[in-house]
Amino acid sequence: MTNHDEDEPQGGLDVQLAAELVAKAKAEGVSLVGPDGLLAGITKTVLQAALEAEMTEHLGYERGEHPAAPTGNHRNGSSAKTVSTEVGP
């Protein structure tokens, strides 16, 4: 068992980050749930980052870079997409 200071949040960085996001959302009057809420925004940001990372891994180069050798498979723009999740579109 570890000894924690009473003022120190428990659970590590993830819990601290989540607590900060919730506090900021409340201070700015942002709902935690709903289409424009904090949870939907975080979900969108995480999904977008994961899809970008997947594309970078698949193609072998970062957005804005040029491939080392032409493969015929490249980034050619983007378009709006809607992903259906448990917290909404």
Kindly give the interhelix angle for 12-27 and 38-59, rounded to the nearest 10 degrees. 130
Exposure of 81 in the CB half-sphere (CA atoms within 13 A): 10
Please count the other Cβ atoms lying within 10 Å of the Cβ belonging to residue 49.
10
Measured CA to CA in angstroms, residue 16 lies from 11, 23, 24, 30 at distances of 7, 11, 12, 19
pTM, two decimal places: 0.67
The pLDDT value recorded for residue 67 is 81
Exposure of 31 in the CB half-sphere (CA atoms within 13 A): 6
pLDDT in tens, the chain (89 residues): 444 444 555 668 899 999 999 999 999 999 998 888 998 889 889 989 999 999 999 888 888 888 877 777 777 777 888 888 877 77
